Chains A and B, each alone.
Chain A
């Protein structure tokens, strides 16, 4: 049965058109995925954090509070306190949470848009969609993501309605991380780590109003505070544009490139 060249070309053209339509249909989101699900008014807050390393004493209450709030297993430290040795032989403690990067690498590489950015600029994970490929964990420069290798602990009682804003209980085989307690901030409460820090070292910041505050009510103007205290963002040179600022004061470099 001979096929004419014209028919073959028509068939190939049709197939190519079909594939193109399929590709367009498949990618319903642009490269940076945004989904607005949380606040009633669009983008009335843009959350960030400031951590004053001069005050942090490494007590890890923040880690514990976060784990309790989200019913995490012990290996998941959504806020993790690192011990950094300084050049002059001292130790500095550095809490690291998800940086909620403006140019998040995890967002770019997720094949199913399970990782998305909400309208407050927070990076959240929809554990109903996540297929557990873990390329986001490979891509995150801050080691901020954790995988549910086993069945996660179940919260007591009947609560079983996990959502990206409050992924409790988590789902086995998916990735979890700090959600900047958006479930609290939507109700006017402080994030668990901010509330637990007895050294008042962790501040929550709102980039739209330019205000930052900690659990004791110390409130500053964000821009001014950052400038006066020579705040920096960790691994900024990777072009991630993180939303967490650190203030040092012990003279350690913490690997900052060119500072004034």
Chain B
């Protein structure tokens, strides 16, 4: 069939492909603005390549700063896709259907951007291949390379598999309005999908396999990132619980990121009929649960260190660091994180008064920002802590580091915006499958638009 797709306004298929056909009035101005931010970051990166890492605020005392914080942060955001898509698939939660495409795309985009930061941080990125040619299996950096790349492959496959029938749908129904490039894309990426029961069977089984595999992979990635710090003896980092701590933190920030991005695209493309307030409430439950687990980890860490207050005299143990974190030079940032990243979001998502879309999205936004701050508090104070009889080190990010960080933050929405100009924003295949096999409420009736 080669005619343009015609359907009722409330059908999810129409909504899923609408951004492909018509981007909306704010698309190009926003894309231009975000592109300029990205370009500024690229210029800063160029400056760094020409002159060296001296253009950053890093120094011999604090030799890891913004870039490493950004690495942990952005890779952590990608866990939203793992949770909402993989775990909800394995637990047969039908309400995931309208969200999974956005969640999986967010996971891939944030992972791609996050995995650039270790390279940006390298003193000699031109020697990256040495990791393969001279790789040492005992090094956490090498574990990081292996884990992140394996997880990336799994994320791509996880996004791509349910995309195949959607590509077939676009191939069959979008017609000339989509343009030549897109039609070629749909033709190739649909891999000859015809929608037969045999094909669907294979697809379903493979998606289940990837959903199962991606969970230990995700756990491994942030565990390995944690061990970049945890395998050293620095105060604050020298903790045996760092790996699960980081994994929970990633899940927490990942779910928050999914909520924020979901809300943004829901508003921009008027998907309120399909992504309803109930979706946000379910996601808020997950955010609340993860937030409480993260708060528990934080409490356990502070209590254990505080009870022993090791090394109050000369730079050993975490005593001085804990004191500066809770009462001293980092207290403002630390308690800011506790309030804005834990206390307020937990309140907003649990109190009936604020458990609506604006309240939940506010909570999620606070969490995303606060979890960046927490990653900064993980990296920099432990590096500034004296390990020898000296004063505390100091670190202020330079314009280069700020520009690159902002560029990464801008690249996430930019890439997603362009992604949904080619691929359906709602997974048509999964909506149909879940409607067929599970409860009908998964595909909501177009009974009025939920207010934002």
Tell me the complex Cα distance, A210–B218, Å: 52
Interface secondary structure of B, over-half rule: loop
Looking at the complex, which of A37-45, A57-65, A139-147, A195-203 is the stretch in contact with chain B?
A139-147
Bound-complex Cα distance A130 to B135 (A): 11
| Residues of chain B lying within 8 A (CB to CB) of residue A85 | 389
User: Measured between C-beta atoms, what is the minimum distance from B189 to chain A in Å?
Assistant: 17
Say yes or no: A26 contacts B388, CB within 8 Å: no
Q: Which of A14-57 contact B (CB under 8 A)?
A: 23, 26-29, 31, 33
Q: Mark B188-210, 1 if CB is under 8 A from A, else 0.
A: 00000000001000100000000
Query: Does B136 contact A129, Cβ atoms closer than 8 Å?
Result: no
Contact B389–A83 (Cβ < 8 Å):
yes
Contacts of A254 in B (CB 8 A): 314
* Residues of chain A lying within 8 A (CB to CB) of residue B354: none
Please state if A172 and B231 are interface contacts (CB–CB under 8 Å). Answer: no
A sample of 21 inter-chain contacts (CB < 8 A) reads A28-B134, A96-B388, A111-B131, A111-B140, A112-B134, A114-B130, A129-B130, A131-B122, A131-B125, A131-B128, A134-B64, A139-B231, A143-B387, A147-B123, A149-B54, A173-B122, A173-B124, A255-B313, A255-B314, A255-B315, A255-B316
| Chain A residues within an 8 Å CB radius of B56 | 149
Q: Is the interface of A mostly helix, strand, loop or mixed?
A: loop
By a CB distance below 8 angstroms, the chain B residues around A28 are 134
Q: Are A149 and B53 in contact (CB under 8 A)?
A: yes
User: A82-B388, A94-B389, A130-B124 known; A109 and B60 CB under 8 Å?
Assistant: no
Q: A143-B387, A143-B388, A150-B54 are in contact. Are A112 and B136 (CB under 8 A)?
A: yes
Are B63 and A111 interface neighbours, CB within 8 A?
A: no
Q: Does A105 contact B (CB under 8 A)?
A: yes
Contact among A26, A33, A149, A151 with B59 in the assembled complex (CB-CB below 8 Å): A149
Q: Does B228 contact A (CB under 8 A)?
A: yes
Closest B residue to A130 by beta carbon equals: B124
**CB nearest to B140 among chain A residues:** A109
Task: Report whether B124 and A135 are in contact in the complex, using a CB–CB cutoff of 8 Å.
Answer: no
Interface flags, B47-81, vs A, CB<8A=1, else 0: 00001111010111101100000000000000000
With A132-B123, A147-B123: A109-B232 Cβ-Cβ less than 8 Å: yes
A131 engages B124 (CB within 8 Å): yes
Q: Is the CB of A135 within 8 A of B141?
A: yes
**Cα–Cα distance between A105 and B233 once the two chains are bound (Å):** 9
Q: Is the CB of A137 within 8 A of B60?
A: yes
A113 within 8 A of B: yes
Q: How far is the CB of B177 from chain A (nearest CB, A)?
A: 32
**Nearest CB of A to B97, in Å:** 28
Determine whether the beta carbon of B316 is less than 8 Å from that of A131: no
8 Å CB contacts to B: which residues of A93-115? Answer: 94, 96, 105, 108-114
How distant is the Cα of A181 from the Cα of B205 in the complex, in angstroms?
63
Considering the chains assembled together, what is the distance between the CA atoms of A135 and B224 in angstroms? Answer: 13
Q: Specify which of A29, A75, A137, A146 is in contact with B136 (CB 8 Å cutoff).
A: A29
Chain A nearest CB, measured from B124 CB (Å): 4
- Whether, in the assembled complex, B132 has its beta carbon less than 8 Å from a beta carbon of chain A, the answer is yes
A110 touches B136 (CB 8 A): yes
Interface residues of B (CB under 8 A from A): 51-54, 56, 58-61, 63-64, 118, 121-125, 127-128, 130-142, 145, 198, 202, 228-229, 231-234, 237, 311, 313-316, 383, 387-390
A214 within 8 A of B: no
Given A26-B135, A26-B137, A133-B121, do A142 and B388 touch, yes or no (CB 8 Å)? yes
A111→B45 CA distance, assembly (Å)? 24
Is A33 within 8 A of B123, CB to CB? no
The answer to whether B389 touches A137 (Cβ under 8 A) is no
CB proximity of A254 to chain B, nearest CB, Å: 8
Bound: A173/B316 CA distance, A? 29
Contact across chains for B142 and A111 when beta carbons are under 8 A apart: yes
Which of A130, A138, A142, A173 is close to B232, meaning CB atoms less than 8 Å apart?
Answer: A138
A214 to B135, CA, bound (A): 40
Q: How many residues of A contact B (CB 8 A)?
A: 54
Which of A114, A135, A142, A175 is close to B140, meaning CB atoms less than 8 Å apart? A135
Chain A minimum-CB-distance residue to B139: A111
Known contacts being A94-B389, A174-B123, is A138 close to B52, with CB within 8 Å? no
Does chain B have a CB within 8 A of A238? yes
Q: Give chain A residues whose Cβ lies under 8 Å from the Cβ of B140.
A: 109, 111, 135
A152-166 interface (Cβ within 8 A of B): none
Contact present for B233 and A238 (CB under 8 Å):
yes
A138 to B383, Cβ gap below 8 A?
yes
> Could you say which residues of chain A place their CB within 8 Å of the CB of B233?
105, 139, 141, 238
Interface residues of A in 181-223 (CB under 8 A from B): none
- Bound-state CA distance A28–B136 (Å) is 8
Check B135–A111 contact: CB distance below 8 A.
yes
Report yes or no: A172 in contact with B389, Cβ–Cβ below 8 A.
no
Chain B residues contacting A233 (CB-CB under 8 Å) are: none
- Residue contact A82 to B313, C-beta cutoff 8 Å: no
Indicate with 1 or 0, residue by residue over A249-260, a CB within 8 angstroms of chain B CB atoms: 000011100000
9 nearest A-B residue pairs (beta carbon): A132-B123, A173-B123, A149-B54, A111-B141, A111-B139, A150-B54, A255-B314, A31-B138, A27-B137
Assembly CA distance A108 to B227 (angstroms):
13
CB distance B53 to A133 under 8 Å? no
- Whether the pair B389, A129 counts as a contact (CB closer than 8 A) is no
Are A27 and B63 neighbours in the complex by a CB distance under 8 Å?
Answer: no
- Which residue of chain A has its CB nearest to the CB of B53? A149
Q: A218 to B118, alpha carbons, bound, how many Å?
A: 49
Distance in angstroms between the alpha carbons of A26 and B142 in the assembled complex:
11
Please tell me if A235 contacts chain B, counting CB pairs below 8 Å. yes
Q: Are A82 and B52 CB-contacts (below 8 A) given A26-B132, A129-B130, A147-B60?
A: no
Across the interface, which residues of B come within 8 angstroms of A68, CB to CB? none
From residue B141, how far is it (CB to closest CB) to chain A in Å? 4
Alpha-carbon gap, A141 to B382, bound state (A): 12
Q: Which of A133, A171, A172 gathers most chain B CB within 10 Å?
A: A133
Min CB gap B46→A, angstroms: 15
Alpha-carbon gap, A132 to B125, bound state (A): 8
Interface contact B389-A149, CB-CB below 8 Å: no
